[in-house]
Amino acid sequence: MPRKKARAVSDNAGVESASAETSRATTQISTARRQRRWKAGSLKDMPNMPMDILLEIFSYLLPMDLLNLARTSKPFRVLLMSRISAGLWRTSRKLVEGLPDCPEHLSEPAYANLVFSAQCHNCLKPNTQSILWELLVRYCRPCKKLLTVKLFDDTPHAKFVYERFDVMWYLVNKAPVHTRCLYHIPQIEQVQKAWHELHDDAEKWSHYEREQRQRVDAIQDHAAACAQWALDVANAKEEQLEQVRDRRLQFVVSKLRGMGWGDEIDRLPDDLSPLSSHSHVHLAREISERSWEKIRDELSAYMGDIKQHRLARQRSIILHIRLKTLDSIIRELRNRLGRDESTECLPKFADFALMPEFRELMEAPTEDMLDMEAFVSLVIKLCDLEARWIMEQEKRLVGMLERALGRVPEEPDGDHGAKDDSEDASHQELLKLAWAVFECRQCSERLHASCAIAHRCTRYNGVHWSFDLDSDETVGNYMYEVRRISHYVRPWNISCFFVPELEPLWSALQTCGKDPETTTALEMDEQDDVRFAIKGRLIDGKRKVLSWMGVMRAGHLDPDVCETGWQFDLVSDEDIRKAKALESERDEEIAEELLGDKAKFWCCGLCDEAAHGRTRSVILDHVGEKHDKWDYYDAADSIYMHPDTVALVARRPVFLPPP
């Protein structure tokens, strides 16, 4: 029989066939390995192993391992939960150092579950760390709230215990939590049931009470031992973690010293904070060279920050000492000369600290000593510096008036008089005119130029200055330290003022025959025989009568004045006498109001802390607390009223019948 012809195939056929065979073989081997691996891990036949082998294996397992093993399959559960396995649990428990013996009221598995299993006993929530040893339970927070009560809770279970507390105190377990005790609701229900069933039978109740009391005492004693063991374990674990942290810290310190940070590290406190508190350093984890390479740049930058903060603190201390010296001298001189309403126009500490002469001296390099010779020379010239400062602020006020009158161009950025636009030596002449008035943006009061520098709002805007920091004012910054000392009182600030419409005031002056171009405020104050009645307007059948002070300072706040277009009639001499009598009565009422809790016009005569004004009761407390003047009369001599009290008088017109 002739041989069959071989089929022609390409040269690659053998390779492809071999590749396919190899692939199938690899797949089969992989599948076989997976099957063998699964079979190798099977524990289903383990419960059928000889008991002596199991005992040998289990003798090396901790209680938590036995619990986990019992939860893997039913055969293991049957094996480990049977009575013959009690010895296994005891042997396993003894592997845990210091753990108290299993109490009579718990089985070995239940005891292991209480101590080692981190599941809530009610809802099985994992990672539940709160163990109530006295109640034999481990509860998460919601379950603890649901299944426990406090003695004074408004619940039936709490009331049952509270109403029979002399008996229940010994029959239910108590778990101390903070300042209260928790009671277990299931236990209360058991005792409550026994109470209703046995309380009427004295013998049975006495027997139950004796047994229950013994059980409660045993649980409480064992709970105390368990709590102490848990505390010892926690302390030991924390000590181990602290040792790991310390080794990590020393490793980091040695590396940083090698990078040139040794001098800065030597300046740190004994605990090496804040370096030791850094998140990369405080970890309770061993560190390797590889781990160090990942954090070295960040820690090096952190050491740079530590150095900057240290230098800033040093700078802060030096600046604070220098500025405190200046503050003490200014305060002492003020106290010698006395403080009253007339001194409110003088510069405060913050104003002196911002003067170029003092600032240059205070901001000398940290390593340099304060130039006491230059400092003393400036202190000697304090009176001259005060006069110069007042003149500078007056010129700024003049600049505002001149811009309002159109004599000089308005600043494009809206800076109300921040620049010295008037170099005229006679700048005070403009400020003396009766209509040289400014209005406050904060309190809406109008003030004559002579009262503007002393106005309260120029130094207080509702926020304590030390809290109102700019973004660049940090520890070691000059302004930051000035704020720390000045605290409440700001440097004088002209920005709270603007010049109101002046035409109505000129018209009022012309009404009483005065020339606005030449009439001064002093002339109007001395001329006390002029009163203005609102033209064509009666209020409840009477005329509203104002003095020049009332027109100038509060006319813009009076709706009747504004609605009539600031039109006035002069009052006769007879009506002026009547008006003065009514004004005297009004002034007495205002004097009583100044003693109340709403009039914040009182200042301290011993310091500038209350320069913005406070109520009388508050300022008396301040004098007592800050200056140790608790005697009422002694304290009363140390306070005075701010000159802004004139505003109260100006806002109170008097009323006269029509002529």
Give residue 76's pLDDT band: very low, low, confident or very high (50, 70, 90).
confident
494-510 average pLDDT score: 94
What is the percentage of the chain residues whose pLDDT exceeds 90? Answer: 65
pLDDT at 7 over 90: no
pLDDT for 276-287, tens place per residue? 999 999 999 999
Q: Which of 498, 515, 534 is the last residue of a domain?
A: 498
Residues 425 and 564 in one domain: no
Query: How far does the chain reach from its first CA to its final CA, in angstroms?
Result: 158
Residue 6 reports pLDDT greater than 60: no
Give buried/exposed letters for 614-639 (b at 16+ CB in 10 A, else e). Answer: bbbeebbebbbeeeebeeeeebeebb
pTM of the model: 0.67
**Residues 329 and 467 both lie in one domain:** yes
For 158-174, what is the mean pLDDT? 92
Domain end, chosen from 442, 469, 498, is at 498
User: Which among 251, 269, 253 has a CA at the least distance from the CA of 302?
Assistant: 253
- Report which of 269, 222, 272 is spatially closest to residue 249, judged by C-alpha positions: 272
The answer to the question of residue 274 being in a domain is: no
Domain boundary among 63, 92, 117: 117
Residues 24-74 pLDDT 10s: 544 554 554 555 444 555 566 676 778 778 778 888 899 999 998 888 888
pLDDT value for 370:
84
The token duo for 640 is 């005075």
DSSP state of 436: -
Do both 490 and 356 map to the same domain?
Answer: yes
How many whole angstroms from its chain centre is CA 420? 41
Q: Is 553 part of a structural domain of the chain? A: yes
**pLDDT over 60 (residue 558):** yes
Q: How many domains does the chain have?
A: 3
Which residue range(s) make up the domain with 559?
504-601+642-656
When pLDDT is averaged across residues 306-320 and rounded to a whole number, the result is 94
Please check whether residues 477 and 541 belong to one and the same domain.
no
pLDDT of residue 11: 45
Q: Which residue has the tokens 């006269």?
A: 656
pLDDT at site 460: 85
The arithmetic mean of pLDDT across residues 343-362, rounded, is: 94
For residue 271, tell me if it sits in a domain: no
446 has which bridge partners? 439
Q: Is residue 29 domain-resident? A: no
